Amino acid sequence: MFGMSSHRKPFSVRSKILLTIGITIAILSVVVYLISTRVLLTSYKQIEEAGVVQDLGRAHDTFDNFAQQQQIKVNDWSQWDDAYDYAQTHDEDWFERTAFPAGMANADISYVIFSDNTDHIYRLRVIDIDGSVEIASTSEKEFFVQNHELLHNPDFETGHTGLVIIDGKPSMFSSLPIVRGDGTGPIRGSLSFGRAVDVEKVKNFAEFIHLNLTAYVYDDPELPADVVDAKQHLSTEQDHYVRALTDRTIVGYVVYKDIFGNPGLILRVEEPRPIYTQGLGTIYIFLAIAGVSLWLFGIAIIWLLERLVIARFVRLTRDVEHINRDQDLTVHVEGGVMDDIGTLAGRINQMLAWLSSAQEAEAKSKKEIVSLLDTIKHGKEEAEKMVIQRTHELSNEKARLLASINSLSFGFVIASVDDTIIVRNPALTAILETEIIPKSISDISAALKNVDTIKTTFDPVTLAHDVVKEKRTMEKSGVSFGKKFLRFLCAPIFADEGSDTAVSTEVIGYVFIVEDITDSKNMERSREEFFSIASHELRTPLTAIRWNTDMLLNMKKNASTKKDEEEMLHDIHNSSIRLIDIVADFLEVSRLEQGKVRVDKKLFDVGALVEKTVHSMQEMADKRALTLTYEQPKAGESTEVYADVNNTEQVLENLLGNALKFTQKGTITIRTEHNGPFLKVSVTDTGAGISEHNQTRLFKKFQQAGEDMLARDVNQSTGLGLYISKLLVTAMGGTIGLEKSVLGKGSTFAFMLPTEAPKA
Amino acid sequence: MKTFLAVEDDELIRHLYERSFRVAGHEIEVANDGEEALDKLSKMEVKPAVILLDIMMPKMNGFDVLQAIKADEKLKNIPVIMLTNLGSEEDRQKGLALGALDYLVKSDYNPGQVVEKVIELTEKGAPPAAA
């Protein structure tokens, strides 16, 4: 509860308080600084700006006054009789006497223009006012020819006064009509004066009005940077613009329009900033005092907090930590005065007292628990012994049960309702031909799907689920699985609810049995084939007999030929022979299958029997142009066997008969040789040979080695010969089989018979 | 005069066909097995009016022969009668499904009836198209 343990040491309460006060003071300082600078300095600036705007007005007025002075000067000359005469006579002497350069400079005139009523300039003089000499400038004439309306004064009252910019140079211009001295007309053209507004002139103005004044031509492409900037504001906002250039300098700009009303000059007034500089100093002093006060206040607060709260709180924490660390409940914490912290300390002391008493009670009950545990331990040991004994008994029983399950020839599985296999025997994987051990019933499904070439819809999982659902045993037989046929049986396992109730209805799993029923399935199929073939075999000769006798009877009514009758009788005879043969074969098979074969075993020379059989079948071989030979054994080698003579002869006849029937050309060779306690008799032909697939069908009932049942050759035999031979040889204690066969080369059939009587 | 073809491996039965048809005044060609039958059919200038086909024969069984006939544009319109001693219903259905006109079990008829059936078929006129 008190132990604060964490990976990262958190800030202490003291640090948090210090941090909070520090941050508060810093924020206050910033606020004070911002307010004082923004508010005060802005108002200082506004006062300064008002002063500058006033001064700009004075500068502008100075230029207006200058224009008025120019007009007064022109007025003196234009109402003078001499000038009136000159306007008619154009007396050059008068002009030279009156408007000579030094005179013009003295009168503060830069150029003088006389023009007639058609605004034609007939006399123009331009001087350099500083050097008092005439200069050959054409720009003035060009300008006034172009702007001749400035020289046009048709009435007594008209006149033009204002600023003109000629070729980038500003001058103050004034023009009035020339009239008589008494102010009467008619008007004889106009007199115009101009005074260059050069640097010197502006300087004069500046001195006159006590301002740092400069003037710039508005359209001058080489204006200083600050004037260009001001021009932006002037053109967009208003006719004047003020801005602080530095902390110590403020500048104002005003436009002075030319005679056409377009911006002509920019007047610039630069002034120092005494108010602003002074104000800034005051603010800094104020800020310093405020900052120091704030920090002093902060320190005082911290000191008080430390004394009254933090130190006591830290001590209380330390005491509690001490209790926690030493597990010492006897310690009392110190709280000091009875404020909130003091009360907390009191409560903690109360709690400690309570805990201390609880601890004692706990120690007491612990003792009781220990003794109880002893009793339990003793009982547990007894129980364990019993469990071990029972487990041993159970494991013996389980081992017996597992051994039984493992020895079953069919696949056996116990699975839970979720299809997980709990018990399984080796026969399962053997039947399913898989090396993967199935973990659940769905693995068995997968194994089925992997091998099965014929699409089957059977799924063991579905069967199992049906069994669990319907709570009864279910079966699926004849499931095709590769070359095999399988039978699946599934029975539910019910939960055993003890001896009271017999069996519960709750299914907790199921037993799954997988049985290989290929043999019985094949047996069944073979039986079906037997009946099919047998009926066919019997029907054919019977048909021949029926049809032939039918025809014979009909022929009796009509004229019949001897030849037909003979042939029919021959066919009827052959049919009956075939029927007898078939019946005999069937009977023989039936007798042999029932074990009713007569075996009269004795020692006899099989070599002699072979010779006899070869001899008897020689005629048949000759008919088919085949060579039939017996390869005699080495001299002195016995060919005696211990078997039944008649049965052996039948087997020999069957093998030789087959060889003769199925060989088109070549040789049939019989050999005898010893093979351990047996004598082997082999019959080798040069026939067509038997394919690997068909080899598996040999020695089975009706199975001639044809591709399928429908391709039987009924002319040859019933197909029971090899089957009968096998039954006979087996009955005599021997074996028979196909030794080898190569397609297109021939086959070797052989049987082995014991050479002596078995020792009793 | 109409020609018939009997495909039959059993000599006894072959004799019966030849004799029965001859007695009824008809000529019949015989083939010993399926391969021979197809060979003969391909070589015959005038195709037979009816083919009598056995099922259980060496080399090529009757069903395969029937399939081969029905797959051949030139032969598929010749009516085929299965004449066999395989009596199961399954075989009968199979034969009819493959396009045989009729399926007769030999031992159920006498020669006169078989000949009558065949003649009756030819006289009915145009055989049904490969059904």
At A720 the pLDDT is 80
At A708 the pLDDT is 52
Contact residues for A519 (Cβ-Cβ < 8 A; gap 6+) = none
Residue B57, chain A, CB below 8 Å: the answer is yes
Using alpha carbons only, how large is chain A's radius of gyration in Å? 72
Min Cα distance A710 → chain B (Å) is: 5
pLDDT(B23) > 70: yes
Gap between the Cα atoms of A673 and A607, Å rounded: 10
Of A456, A464, A349, which is closest to residue A413 (Cα–Cα)? A464
Quick check: helix, strand or coil at residue A758?
A: coil
pLDDT tens-digit series, residues A443-492? 888 888 776 555 567 888 888 888 888 888 998 888 888 778 888 999 99
Residue pair A586/A739 in contact (Cβ under 8 Å)? The answer is no
pLDDT tens-digit series, residues A198-228? 888 889 888 988 888 999 998 888 888 888 8
Rounded to an integer, the average pLDDT of A63-81 is: 90
Cβ neighbour number for residue A58 with a 10 Å cutoff: 15
Min Cα distance A486 → chain B (Å) is: 25
At A172 the pLDDT is 93
Ramachandran sector of residue A688 (left: φ over 0; alpha: ψ -120 to 50; beta: rest): alpha
In angstroms, the Cα distances linking A745 to A630, A664, A671, A742, A755 are 19, 12, 18, 5, 31
pLDDT tens-digit series, residues A158-211? 889 999 999 889 999 999 999 988 888 788 899 999 999 988 888 988 898 888
Nearest by CB to A710, from B12, B55, B105: name it: B55
Residue A553, chain B, CB below 8 Å: the answer is no
Residue pair A164/A150 in contact (Cβ under 8 Å)? The answer is yes
Tell me, what DSSP letter sits at residue A710?
G
Nearest by CB to A715, from B9, B60, B86: name it: B9
pLDDT(A378) > 80: yes
Residue A539, chain B, CB below 8 Å: the answer is yes
Nearest by CB to B10, from A546, A711, A715: name it: A715
Gap between the Cα atoms of A36 and A291, Å rounded: 13
Q: Write out the DSSP string of A308-327.
A: IIIHHHHHHHHHHHHHHHHT
Q: Sort out which chain A residues have CB atoms less than 8 A from B85's CB and list them.
A: 535-536, 539-540, 543
Answer whether B88 sits within 8 Å of A713, measured CB to CB: no
pTM for the whole structure: 0.41
> How many CA atoms, within 13 angstroms, populate the side-chain half-sphere of residue A394?
6
Which of the residues A558, A576, A710 would you substitute to probe the B interface, choosing the one with the greatest number of B C-beta atoms within 10 Å?
Answer: A710
pLDDT tens-digit series, residues A82-116? 889 898 898 888 988 888 898 888 888 999 999 98
Gap between the Cα atoms of A726 and A647, Å rounded: 11
Q: Sort out which chain A residues have CB atoms less than 8 A from B107's CB and list them.
A: 539, 542-543, 546
Rounded to an integer, the average pLDDT of A23-48 is: 84
Q: Sort out which chain A residues have CB atoms less than 8 A from B23's CB and list them.
A: 551, 554-555
Nearest by CB to B87, from A535, A564, A568: name it: A535
Residue A564, chain B, CB below 8 Å: the answer is yes
At A558 the pLDDT is 63
Instruction: Name which of A11-15, A119-123, B48-52 the model is least confident about.
Output: A11-15
Q: How confident is the model at residue A4 (pLDDT cuts 50, 70, 90)?
A: very low
pLDDT(A338) > 80: no
pLDDT(A750) > 90: yes
Which of the residues A537, A543, A708 would you substitute to probe the B interface, choosing the one with the greatest number of B C-beta atoms within 10 Å?
Answer: A543
Residue pair B106/A538 in contact (Cβ under 8 Å)? The answer is no
> How many CA atoms, within 13 angstroms, populate the side-chain half-sphere of residue A482?
10
Min Cα distance B20 → chain A (Å) is: 8
pLDDT tens-digit series, residues A504-543? 678 888 998 999 888 888 777 777 777 777 777 788 788 8
Residue pair A196/A171 in contact (Cβ under 8 Å)? The answer is yes
Gap between the Cα atoms of A441 and A467, Å rounded: 13
Joined together, the tokens standing for residue A310 give 């933090």
Rounded to an integer, the average pLDDT of B3-29 is: 85
**Residue A176, phi then psi, degrees to nearest 5:** -140, 160
Q: How confident is the model at residue A3 (pLDDT cuts 50, 70, 90)?
A: very low
Gap between the Cα atoms of A663 and A666, Å rounded: 7
Rounded to an integer, the average pLDDT of A422-442 is: 85
Amino acid letter for position B21: F
Helix (H) or strand (E) holding A676: none
Which of A93-102, A490-499, B105-114 shows the highest mean pLDDT?
A93-102
A607-617 burial by CB neighbour count: b if 16+ within 10 A, else e? bebbeebbeeb
Give me the percent of chain A exceeding a pLDDT of 90: 18
Gap between the Cα atoms of A101 and A135, Å rounded: 10
Of A395, A519, A512, which is closest to residue A461 (Cα–Cα)? A512
Residue pair A250/A48 in contact (Cβ under 8 Å)? The answer is yes
Gap between the Cα atoms of B129 and B126, Å rounded: 9
Residue of B nearest to A714 (CA): B10
Gap between the Cα atoms of A637 and A744, Å rounded: 33
Answer whether B16 sits within 8 Å of A547, measured CB to CB: yes
